[in-house]
Amino acid sequence: MMAGRRSNGKDDLETAAAAFLAEVEIPPAPQRLREYGLQRVLVRARAKEGGKAPATARRAYRNPALLRHTLVVVVAVLLVMTLSTTGAYAFSLDAQPDSPLYGTKIFFERARVILNLSSAGDMRLEMDFSERRMEELRRMAASGKAGGAERWLREYGRNIEVAGSLAGAVSGEDAERLSLQFQEMLERQALMMQEIRRGQPSGLEEPIEGAFRICDQERARMRQRCGQQGAGAPAQEGGQGDGDCPRTEDSSPQEGASSATFIEPSGSGSAPGESSPLCGEGTLSGDALEAGDEPVEAAPDASQPRIDAPESEQASRDMEYRGDGPGKGHMP
């Protein structure tokens, strides 16, 4: 009964409210909407159907603010990208191999090589980068931090290998000069490694040994290439081959003498298991010099064409350079 009364009460409320609403005066649509609204709707509908495809372009054209906004966004994005790239490059320049920015540094180096279109430019860059590697090694030794040494060795090996392979691709006047510079650089780096090694930096023995081996192999390869060219090609002005190799120091006895001030690499001529002077056992070995370099270094006269590397020996050296020859893994 209570529920019924309550229900009746609710019904009464609703009925009264409904009756009240029914009597409310509702304002009709304005006259202007009635008169012109339909025309506007029809015109807008036609315009909408007529030009759906270029709507965005029209919007941008008719709305300078939108165009300006788009331009501002594009410029801002470009600016942020430029700033972040420049910043990353600047911060990574001095990064050592144990630094998180070292990868960025290497990335930018490779990007520069990729963006360079000439073989001579690529070779110069790789030589510069290998000099950077030596600077990194010097700093690692000075600070006693050997972190990232493996990566350092990998990058150094890559620099030297790429520069060496590019030496054959460079032609013209640059070829001889670059080849000479490359060999001088290799010798300089070998000296530097020897000096650093003398300081007995902890944890850097193996990377230095590996780097020296790479350096040594590349030197041997360069010498062999020059010798071959000198022997195989018709003699030119200086008795050299195609002009791709240095004519003077590299193949002269004096060079051998200068090389004798540091550990002279023996190339593929070293026997497996032969101890490495770098490993602390020996000093400069004249035997090693003679044994390893005799065919190249001991040429009595650089102006004479030399036959110092038979084809089978060259193949053997190439194999060794690739890491699958008999001398694989052995120090000079």
Residues in 271-290 at the binding interface with another protein, rule: CB under 8 A:
none
CA-based end-to-end distance of the chain: 113
Phi and psi for 204 in degrees, rounded to 5?
A: -110, 0
14 or 206: CB nearest another protein: 14
Report in angstroms how near the CB of residue 60 gets to another protein at its nearest: 22
**Helix ranges (DSSP H) in the chain:** 2-23, 31-50, 55-62, 64-92, 102-115, 119-143, 149-167, 173-198, 205-232, 253-259, 286-297, 311-322
6 sits near another protein (criterion: CB under 8 A)? no
Which residue among 33, 72, 81, 83 contacts another protein (CB under 8 A)? 33
Report in angstroms how near the CB of residue 106 gets to another protein at its nearest: 51
26 sits near another protein (criterion: CB under 8 A)? yes
Q: Which stretch binds another protein (CB under 8 A): 36-44, 188-196, 225-233, 258-266?
A: 36-44
25 or 311: CB nearest another protein: 25
14 sits near another protein (criterion: CB under 8 A)? yes
Which residue among 2, 3, 25, 283 contacts another protein (CB under 8 A)? 25
CB of 134 closer than 8 Å to CB of 207: no
Residue reference for tokens 């690499």: 265
Q: What is the C-alpha separation between 192 and 219, in angstroms, rounded?
A: 15
Residues with Cβ within 8 Å of 204's Cβ and at least 6 positions away in sequence, in order, are: 137, 140, 141, 146, 149, 196
User: Residue 171 is encoded by which pair of tokens?
Assistant: 């032609």
Which residue among 1, 2, 3, 22 contacts another protein (CB under 8 A)? 22
Report in angstroms how near the CB of residue 65 gets to another protein at its nearest: 19
Residues in 41-100 at the binding interface with another protein, rule: CB under 8 A:
41-42, 44-45, 48-49
Q: Binding residues for another protein, per CB under 8 A?
A: 10, 12-18, 20-30, 32-34, 37-38, 40-42, 44-45, 48-49
